[in-house]
Every structure is written in structure tokens, then in C-alpha cells.
Amino acid sequence: MHRVGSAGNTTNSVRPRKEKRLTYVLSDADDTKHCAGINCLKVLKSTVSNGCDYLFTGSRDGTLKRWAISEDSATCSATFESHVDWVNDAVLAGDSTLVSCSSDTALKTWNCLSDGTCTKTLRQHSDYVTCLAAAEKNSNIVASGGLGGEVFIWDVEAALTPVSKSGDAMEDDYLNGVNGSTNSLPMTSLRTISSSNSISVHTTQGYVPIGAKGHKESVYALAMNDSGTRLVSGGIEKVVRVWDPRTGSKAMKLRGHTDNIRALLLDSTGRYCLSGSSDSMIRLWDLGMQRCVHSYAVHTDSVWALASTPTFSHVYSGGRDLSLYLTDLATRESLLLCKKEHPILQLALHDDSIWVATTDSSVHRWPAEAHNPQKVFERGGSFLAGNLSFSRARVSLEGSIPVPVYKEPTLTIPGTSAIVQHEILNNRRHVLTKDTAGSVKLWEITRGIVIEDYGKVSFEERKEQLFEMVSIPAWFTVDTRLGSLSVHLDTPQCFSAEMYSADLNIVGKPEDDKVNLARETLKGLLAHWLAKRRQRLGSQASANGDVLSGKDIAPRSLAHSRVDVDGGAENDSMVYPPFEFSTVSPPSVVTEGSQGGPWRKKITDLDGSEDEKDFPWWCLDCVLNNRLPPRENTKCSFYLHPCEGSAFQILTQGKLSAPRILRIHKVVNYVVEKMVLDKPLDNVNTDGTFAPGLGGHLQHSVVGDGSFRPGVKPWQKLKPSIEILCNNQVLSPDMSLATVRAYIWKKPEDLILNYRLAQGR
């Protein structure tokens, strides 16, 4: 699985530093909908009569959403956006704090009734954080587990308490991996469960050691009882581990499952535990007796989600077999409540209904009768759960598959279809995508919008129809891990692509001006931030009586490399139409600065307070100072020879060099220029370049300094008709040198072009 952002090289290593990337995530949909699978659900019941209940959803699109729930509707009232990878789980701590965890290795806390602002980022895990558990009646205690095998217990109240620290201590915290959007985490708030049956309570401010591993393998499930006196964990090791969170001592290890443990529940007292496993079994454990007292063969595949009635008498279960079952734990009677189209990932009871989250982006509410589950059994259709997994599998093979009690959900919160296939087109500005509904769309990534929605057509056929014979360097990469298009810019590769302003239809700019695609895209992405930043700096300057200088950021010390100033665009802060991003469905920026971890924000939510510590330095150097890092050779070398048997020749002095994007019609102009001059030799300077007095549409210097610069004046003489060939193929005047080299020449050696009078003239 990929990681978003790079940590950089903070040691004295001699290896070159890996610069942090900038990613932007595109959306053509309403921001009130998820666009990828829903990994977690949490219900917040109103504490006042006639108050509004809320449902919180966390998605593989990297965001959480809050839904105001009524009997027949669900309205999105906030989006919580800060994680940079899948949101894997979420819990409520008290009445107003939402805690989420993600594959970005971080936990985040939010005021769940706010507008969606992250209040703290907690970094301690070494790998994806997969699961959380909270104590219902002890709102401070939250446990987290992840793929690194660690289990941590957090005191949320302490974690959110600002602590006064010296600068050195703050830096120590950052280096040791704990940072946030407010002051850093006090050390009493973290307890690490280790496999040596001891717990470390770190009280030394400014120092957080690496968490000891409680599990040897990845942790996938956690559960805690209401008072926070017992914690259970499970994962790849197939055992249920039981801990006392107050002391950190490991109470017991329960064996019985034959595959990964994926879901856990504890009753309110902490006496009984339910576990769901990839072995398709549900087991009921008596922790007082330290043994499994019942096993239930209900599912035919992995059990991924469990929820119990308030009295812990019945369990709702779902998983990879797309089925939601209700099972009486005492009588072993089981009912198929409903059959889904996607694997079930999490369940949440809400009064007498149950919310079901799947790998689809929509969420459904089904009847559950949690306060009187026997009412459902009275409908009939139940079967007796076996105690061996193969017996359940055999039943399904014999054809006696249960009939679902419910056909339709009582409420659906629709999501949008996730993008599952993509192709970057040759023009390096358009990306063709296909989503889970089969819809094919064409995106323009320099504006972040869909420019064509083709509907349900063949992706491969459309890709062939859109093929253009053009060669432009690969200046960005794309992935669809979040269900939408994530466009990644890495330096210096992203600055390798240029186009002429005429080809981008930029009005008011000389047609021969070269436009760097990444530079203009960055300007478009950060236009809102720049405007807000100028407002802030302006108000500060006027308050202090300062005069703002032209340069906003001090140039970074670059002893090891040269930095080019893009001279043609000096002081050019205007965003051109091909690079204006939508404010209706604005993209989100995902990036990382020199301090703190990666973050994510909509470009319209950037308020100007983010500074150079929050962005990669190369982005700011480009946008604020107009400087681009050294790039690979943007020139193309070639030879220009007459065709065999040609009646005329022009004066060329060996190898020529020109920008890769130069069009063949410019080469035609060059040939005409050299051919129609009566005495070209009289105009050659001693250094081998052509004198400015030459005039002409293409004043190119040849060989000597390797440059080949377009001029702007049309020549005055009659133009003969010339054609340029490569490999005996007549070239279109609109082709660039790069395109000719890639599609016609197809050799590693320097390009050879031939010229002749156009045939038939």
C-alpha cells in the first residue's frame, strides 16, 4: 500500500534528501457525499428531548462526515478533513470529542459538534492505525491498535490540555513523533502496553520513547468495557489478548480461532467477550472462566463486524459474505436480516435500527428491534447456528440458504461512485477515469474538473479514440486509492513539462512564451492561500509601519544545487484560465512541511496562516519567488540535412539545438530564412551565431551556444514551400521535436531531419 507524503532525510546521511511531495485530490461531486467505502460508524444520541441525533461516518476517501438524522432523512452537517489516507475507525470520547485513526499512522481529535476543525494530531504508531476502542462511562480513555503490533492507551483529556513548554522540548516532541495543531501532548497521556506485562507511564516532559509492542503481529480489533477497566485486542496472531488498562498488566491470552481476529465486543461489565474471525466463526468467551463458552457457525466467510443488543443477549454480525445476521447467544437461533451487495465493514445500533457500512460509499439503515429482538424471530426463517464452521458451509452448499427478513433499508445515505480505473493521456493534461458505476469521464487536471462525462461506454475504446500523437514529459503521477483522483507532484520531475502559450490558448501572452505546467498549476492551487496571505501580511505591515518587500520568503540555502529563476515570468502572479481551479468543487491539498506531519485541506479553506513550515520549500520557492529547481535537459539536439538529390542546400554548422516543444513549422521557417537570404555568410558573427540584423521570424543561434531561440518578426520575402522529413516521412508542421523523436525517429541517437521543396511545387 502506498504512503502519502515522504518523511524526508533528517539525519546527516550523505544520500540525497527526498523532497516532500505535494498532492491534490480532485472531486467533481457534492462535498456532502463520500466517494469511497465506509470503514466506520458512530452514533451520538442527543442528550435533550427532541434533540437531533448524529451519525458519524469515516471513509476510505480520507474524510469523516457528520449526519443529522431524522426519521426519514440524513443531512450532512460537517466534513472532517485532515487525515491524508483512509480513515479506519472512529470513537466518541464523552459528549463532544470524536477520535479517529487512519492509515496515515495518526490519530486525530475533533470537536464533533464543530464545523470540522481538527483539535489535535497524535502520532505514536509506526504503521497504519486500524482500530480504536473507548470506555462509554470513562470519557477520557481511548485505546488504539495498528499494523505495527502496538497497542496504546490515550488519556484524551490530558492530550487536549495545552502545556507550556520550551522550544527545545517542543522540538524533542516533534522528533519523537508527537505533534498537533495546538500545543503538544503531555507525557502522562500516553501508556504503552508491552508484551512484558508492564506499562510505562511517561511523565518526563519533552520525551516520548517508541511504543513497545504488545502483539508480535498486526492488531485489527479492540474493545473496552464501559468503565474502562478491561481491554481486549486481537489480530493476526489468532488469539484474544486481555489487558487491564489501568495497570497495563496482561491478564490472559485466549486461543480458539484458526485465523485473524477482525472484530471484538465486550459486555458493559467486561465479563463476556464476543470475537469475529476470518475463520468465519463467532466465539463467546467468559473472561472469568478464561475460556470459550460458545461458538457460532453463522457466516460462510470472514466476520468483520459485530454489534450487540444493550443486554448482550443477541449479536448482529456482518462480513465478507455480504450478509447481516442476528443470533440469539443463549438459544443459538440465527436469522438472516438482509443481504448486501458489498462486504460489511462495521455496524452501529441506533434505537431499534442498525446502520450498516460496507466497501461501498453509501450507508444503509435497517430495522433491528434491538430492544426486543424476539419480535424478529417471530417472523420465522431462523436456523440453528452450528459450532463448527464447516457445518455452516455445508448447509449453504446443500441449498438451504436462509431467506432475508428485510428486502429494503428504511433509509439510505447515498455516496458517489469511487474511481477504480484511470489512464493519463499523452497530452499530460487529461486523465480518463472509470468509476464503480461504469461511468467514464475525462478530467483536466490543471483545472481539477471533469470536461467530458461519456457515461457507460467502453473505457478501452474511449482511450483509443482520445489518443494523440504528442510527446510531453511525465510531470505528475496519479492514483485512485481514496476513490478520487489524487495527483502527485514531485520535484524536480514535475517541472519538466512546458507548452507554448498559443497551444494553451492563453490570451494576452505572446504565443511563443513557454509555460511551465507545474508552476502554473501550483499557482492555481495556491491562489486562494496567496490572496489570504497578502491580506494578513498587509494588515501586519500596516500595523507595524513596515513596507512589504517584493520577495515573500527568504531563499533557502542551496549550497548543493543551482536554482533557476524563470525569467520570462518574473513577477507574473496572474493565474491563467487553463489553470484556474473550481471553487464549487475545490480540490484538497495534501502535503507536509519542514515541521509536523502531513495534512490535508481544501484549497478554499487555506486561510493564509499556513507558512513555510507547512509547505514543501520548493512549492513556496516556485510560487512566491518564481524559482524553479534545476531540470533535466529541456532541449532537443538534431541535424538538419537536405534530402538526397535536393537542388538546394542551406548553411548549417553541424548540430542544432532547440526546445523539445519547438514545432516543425518553426524549422520550416528556419530553412526558408536560410535559403532565401542572398548572402547569409555576410551575416554570420565570428562566434558562429547569426547576427541580430538578420531579421526573420526565427532568429536562431546554431551550434555554438546550443540555443535556438524563436524571434517574433515575420520576414518580408516571398516564402517558398518547404517540407521537413524524418525517416522519409513528411512531418506535420504542428508536430513538436519531442513528438517526432518519440513517434517517428524512435532511436536514441540525435534526431536527423531532412528538408526539401514541397512536392508538386
**DSSP one-letter string for 304-351:** EEEEE-TTSSEEEEEETTSEEEEEETTT-EEEEEEE-SS-EEEEEEET
Can you give the pLDDT at residue 673?
83
The one-letter code for the residue type at 611 is: D
Question: Exposed (0-12), middle (13-18) or buried (19+): which is 543, by Cβ within 10 Å?
Answer: exposed
Contact 297, 311 (CB under 8 A): no
Residue 712: CB atoms within 10 A of its CB come to 10
Contact 149, 218 (CB under 8 A): yes
Residue 193 has pLDDT above 80, yes or no: no
Strands 627-628 and 564-565: antiparallel
Whole-number Å distance between alpha carbons of 274 and 303: 11
Query: Please, what sign has the CA dihedral across residues 291, 294, 297, 301?
Result: negative
* Grid coordinates belonging to 402: 436462509
The CATH number of domain 634-677+718-760 is 3.10.20.90: yes
Whole-number Å distance between alpha carbons of 21 and 15: 18
Residue 713 has pLDDT above 60, yes or no: no
pLDDT band at 215 (very low <50, low <70, confident <90, very high): low
pLDDT band at 22 (very low <50, low <70, confident <90, very high): very high
Give the side-chain half-sphere CA count within 13 A for 135: 24
| pLDDT higher at 376 or 391 | 376
**Average pLDDT for 517-542:** 90
Sole residue written with cell 461511468:
439
Can you give the pLDDT at residue 692?
31
* Grid coordinates belonging to 414: 447515498
Domain boundaries, given as residue ranges, for the chain:
19-35+416-534+584-632, 634-677+718-760
Residue 753 has pLDDT above 90, yes or no: yes
Least confident of 177-191, 338-352, 669-683: 177-191
Residue 95: CB atoms within 10 A of its CB come to 11
Whole-number Å distance between alpha carbons of 617 and 598: 14
Whole-number Å distance between alpha carbons of 676 and 651: 11
Q: Would you call the peptide bond into 492 cis, given omega within 30 degrees of 0 as the criterion? A: yes
Can you give the pLDDT at residue 721?
87
* Grid coordinates belonging to 65: 462526515
Residue 548 has pLDDT above 90, yes or no: no
Instruction: Report the run of H or E that residue 88 belongs to, with start and end.
Output: strand 87-93
Q: What is the pLDDT of residues 319-361, one digit of tens each?
A: 999 999 999 999 999 999 999 999 999 999 999 999 999 999 9
Can you give the pLDDT at residue 561?
40
| pLDDT higher at 613 or 702 | 613
Can you give the pLDDT at residue 375?
92
SS3 172: helix
Q: What is the pLDDT of residues 459-492, one digit of tens each?
A: 999 999 999 999 999 999 999 999 999 999 999 9
For residue 234, give the nearest of 189, 271, 209, 266 by alpha carbon.
Answer: 266
SS3 517: helix
Can you give the pLDDT at residue 392?
64
Strands 751-757 and 635-642: parallel
Sole residue written with cell 502535503:
591
**Average pLDDT for 303-308:** 98
Whole-number Å distance between alpha carbons of 338 and 450: 37
Q: DSSP secondary-structure letter at 407?
A: S
**Average pLDDT for 287-296:** 94
Contact 597, 181 (CB under 8 A): no
Q: Which residues contact 508 (CB under 8 A, 6 or more apart)?
A: none
pLDDT band at 719 (very low <50, low <70, confident <90, very high): low
pLDDT band at 277 (very low <50, low <70, confident <90, very high): very high
Count of positions (residues) in the chain: 761
The one-letter code for the residue type at 383 is: F
pLDDT band at 205 (very low <50, low <70, confident <90, very high): very low
Least confident of 16-30, 228-242, 385-399: 385-399
Residue 47 has pLDDT above 90, yes or no: no
Beta strands in 496-555 (DSSP E): 498-500, 514-516
Beta strands in 351-504 (DSSP E): 353-358, 363-367, 383-384, 411-413, 419-424, 430-435, 440-444, 449-455, 477-479, 486-489, 498-500
For residue 402, give the nearest of 373, 382, 374 by alpha carbon.
Answer: 382
Q: Which residues contact 544 (CB under 8 A, 6 or more apart)?
A: none
Residue 77 has pLDDT above 80, yes or no: yes
Residue 209 has pLDDT above 50, yes or no: no
Residue 188 has pLDDT above 70, yes or no: no
Residue 198 has pLDDT above 90, yes or no: no
Contact 437, 417 (CB under 8 A): yes
**Average pLDDT for 743-758:** 92
**DSSP one-letter string for 623-668:** HHH-EE---S--EEEEEEEEPTT-S------S-EEEETT-BHHHHH
Q: What is the pLDDT of residues 436-468, one digit of tens each?
A: 999 999 999 999 999 999 999 999 999 999 999
Whole-number Å distance between alpha carbons of 618 and 622: 6
What is the pTM assigned to this prediction? Answer: 0.84
For residue 370, give the nearest of 355, 354, 381 by alpha carbon.
Answer: 354
Chain centroid, CA 325 distance in Å: 34
Q: DSSP secondary-structure letter at 384?
A: E
Residue 178 has pLDDT above 70, yes or no: no
Residue 18 has pLDDT above 70, yes or no: yes
Residue 235 has pLDDT above 50, yes or no: yes
Give the chain's radius of gyration (CA, Å).
Answer: 32
**Average pLDDT for 557-575:** 52
Q: Which segments of 98-234 does DSSP mark as H helices, in order? A: 156-159, 167-175
Whole-number Å distance between alpha carbons of 329 and 314: 5
pLDDT band at 649 (very low <50, low <70, confident <90, very high): confident
Residue 159 has pLDDT above 80, yes or no: no
| pLDDT higher at 626 or 58 | 58
Average pLDDT, the chain: 82
| pLDDT higher at 713 or 215 | 215
The one-letter code for the residue type at 666 is: K
Residue 650 has pLDDT above 70, yes or no: yes
Can you give the pLDDT at residue 512?
86
Contact 357, 324 (CB under 8 A): no
Residue 169 has pLDDT above 60, yes or no: no
**Average pLDDT for 147-163:** 81
Q: Which residues contact 238 (CB under 8 A, 6 or more apart)?
A: 255, 257, 258, 259, 260, 261, 277
pLDDT band at 632 (very low <50, low <70, confident <90, very high): confident
Can you give the pLDDT at residue 574?
87
